Chain A
Amino acid sequence: MDDLSARPHPDAPLLRPIERPARNFYLIVGILLAIILYTGFVYLRQILFGLGVTGMAQPVTWGFYIINFVFFIGISHAGTLISAILRLSKAEWRRPITRMAEVITAIVLAIGGLHPIIDLGRPDRMSHLFFNGRLQSPLLWDITSITAYFTASTVYLYIPLIPDIAILRDRGVKPRWLYEFLSWGWQGTERQHKVLDRAMNILMVIVIPIAISVHTIISYIFAMTVQPGWHSTIFGPYFVVGAIFSGIAAILVLMIVFRKIFRLEGYLKHVHFNYLSILLLIMSLLWFYFTFSEYLTGYYGHEPNEMRVFWYKFTGDFAPYFWTMIFCNFFLPVLLLCNRKTRTIPGILIASISVIIGMWLERLIIVVPSLANPRLPYPTGIYIPTHTEWMLFIGGISVFVLGYMIFARFFPVISIWEIEEGRKESAKIVTERISSYMPDIKPTSAGE
């Protein structure tokens, strides 16, 4: 270990968590593993006894699993999509953010993608989807797009990680074999940089349409049916907006957490939070616009079945959730983020957590009320999730935290080489770029 301290690195705060992990790391990992183990046991019980152990019944045949599926996949839009957009638009302030965002995508997507399988009555027959799948079913579209997104986003996470792994390899961080293997022989030659740049450019262009397709298709699962409250043409963009909205909130929370734990105040500065929170504010307004259009058209049309679902949400059993959602997704974030005095780190943290809760409620409000109000007069009860469903939700979150912790234990959460590159080149590049925007100083001929 002493040879490490002999070579001080300019970005030492980014390497510290990997070279000298905190002592309570294993404690937290242990707690999370215990939760996950228990969740595994609960799931095993579901496999043995059937879906009867959940709170689902007729007519509410979809519950927490589908809600969390939509929610987690929504959060996953934080990462790759936002990082790709920021990279593509050459936003210089992206440098400390992209990696963190991409990691969210990779982990959350894996968790979210498992949810439909948890929801299956016969998970043992999952292979039917591949051998007897019907491409006419929106569920198959979903499998296709989520697989594509997962592949693209893990590659997109890994490729910009290679130079950083090489830095760790060169510093002799243990386990050496891991960094040796994953650095893929990176030496930082000019040609390697060129290939890396090209790969990243191709990926970020590919990843944006894939990401948008993923949440659009998730909305299609609902929108393709004729059920009131689901059969809506704006569901595709509405879900995408909601996904990006919750995703930005998730990035902000993680940035604040890592800034605090890893003491990254020097990297995650006020400007990053300011820009991202303004983006969150814009998404909040956009989300409200979509919600408003969705419900106003339903209300104005006044189709009886549509109205049953509408009143169920506005004044019925789901009113508390509905109005909490409006408060969490619109009023609170807008109030906090509009004002420069409250657009501080604590203010942003409160707004982001509120948005995450609000977006989860939105998924609940989309899935359950339409099912709870069938067109024909059936006796319906209220859907109450059981211990099993809560545990699988908590377990899912634990897997996310654990996955993120393990990533942060072995790899830098902020891209070191991109920061270095930024220090060296970006000022010059940006000056050149700006001067290219400016009107030419050369005076136009007076004759014109």
Chain B
Amino acid sequence: MKWGMVIDLQKCTGCGECVAACKRENNVAVVEPKESAMGRTMLWMDMLTIFEGDYPRLRVRQIPRPCMHCDHPPCTKVCPVRATYINEEGIVTQIYPQCIGCRYCMAACPYTVKSFNWYKPEWTPGIRDTVNPDVSVRPVGVVEKCTFCVHRRQKAKEQAKSEAREPRENDYQPACAEGCPTGAIVFGDIENSGHRVNHLAHSPRATRLLEDLGTEPKVIYLKEVD
């Protein structure tokens, strides 16, 4: 079983709901505007803007960017304390109490997906009341990133167990996939040939970011066709 994600750029409108849903779901800290301007914004799901060509042939593309959950992650290789590792279901996770904050994984990640808690994370009073109790809040000085909402996997497993049934196909969905209004993000077991995600991953439109690096990302993009 290997969890993977397909993002259909043909369907994606660049609305940013995945970014917002992720931020809420995972208790990702909100930094001050001054900090944000320095480049300390914390986003597990980011929306990349790519400008292609020049006026009048300018094209702007929006690409939602979660962690790629590589099968050969460059980040886990360099971690000196095993604070980041790839689990048996292919999810690259972080162990916050183990992280020493050396930021080697951030320097090694070719996709630059990791965020660092430069200060103690804080939430404005309104947001503080809505933090998700399922996701641990990170302390200052550790690295964090998208985990494919791995806590939801745990929850789905327990739910299925309590109902004495096998987990259903779509029991486990990360917040971004759930929130996407156009259904551009499809998530599931990429090795299960019966699942839609497997079908889409083998579409001729399928491509992966920086494929030539051999990191084997499990986030697959479907190219725009127009």
Q: Which residues of A line the B interface, CB within 8 A?
A: 49-52, 55-62, 116, 119-123, 125-126, 128-129, 132-134, 136-140, 221, 224-227, 371, 374-381
Contacts and interface: CB of A to CB of B under 8 A. Distances in A.
Contacts, number: 138
Given A125-B100, A133-B81, A225-B74, 7 more contacts: A50-B120, A57-B40, A61-B103, A121-B140, A129-B100, A132-B98, A376-B65
Given A120-B101, A133-B80, A377-B48, A61 B117 contact: no
B38 A50 contact: no
14 contacts: A50-B119, A51-B116, A51-B141, A57-B39, A58-B40, A61-B103, A61-B116, A125-B81, A225-B78, A227-B110, A374-B112, A376-B65, A377-B48, A379-B39
A121 B104 contact: no
B141 A120 contact: yes
A227 B108 contact: yes
Contacts of A374: 110, 112
A381 B38 CA distance: 7
Nearest to A134: B82
Q: Is the interface of B mostly helix, strand, loop or mixed?
A: loop
B120 to A, nearest CB: 6
Interface in B22-55: 35, 37-41, 46, 48-51
A138 B101 CA distance: 15
B74 A226 contact: yes
- Interface size range of chain B in the complex: 35 or more
Q: Which of B51, B80, B114, B115 has the most CB of A within 10 A?
A: B80
B35 A121 contact: no
A140 B100 CA distance: 13
Contacts of A140: 80
A122 B100 contact: yes
B80 A377 contact: no
Contacts of B51: 377
Interface in B57-114: 65, 74, 77-83, 98-104, 106-108, 110-112, 114
B137 interface: no
Contacts of B114: 58
A137 B107 CA distance: 13
Nearest to B31: A52
Given A50-B141, A134-B82, A137-B79, A61 B213 contact: no
B40 to A, nearest CB: 5
A134 B80 contact: yes
Given A371-B107, A381-B39, A121 B78 contact: no
A58 B141 contact: no
Contacts of A50: 117-120, 140-141
B141 A226 contact: no
A375 B81 contact: no
A57 B210 CA distance: 23
Nearest to B96: A122
A139 B210 contact: no
B158 to A, nearest CB: 28
B81 A134 contact: yes
B200 interface: no
B112 A58 contact: yes
A134 B65 contact: no
B80 A121 contact: no
B113 to A, nearest CB: 9
A30 to B, nearest CB: 34
The 7 closest A-B pairs by CB, nearest first: A121-B101, A121-B141, A57-B39, A52-B118, A52-B119, A139-B80, A137-B80
Contacts of B118: 50-52, 56-57
Contacts of A120: 100-102, 141
A136 B111 CA distance: 22
Contacts of B111: 375-376
B142 interface: yes
A56 B210 CA distance: 26
A371 B104 CA distance: 11
A334 to B, nearest CB: 34
B81 A132 contact: yes
A127 to B, nearest CB: 9
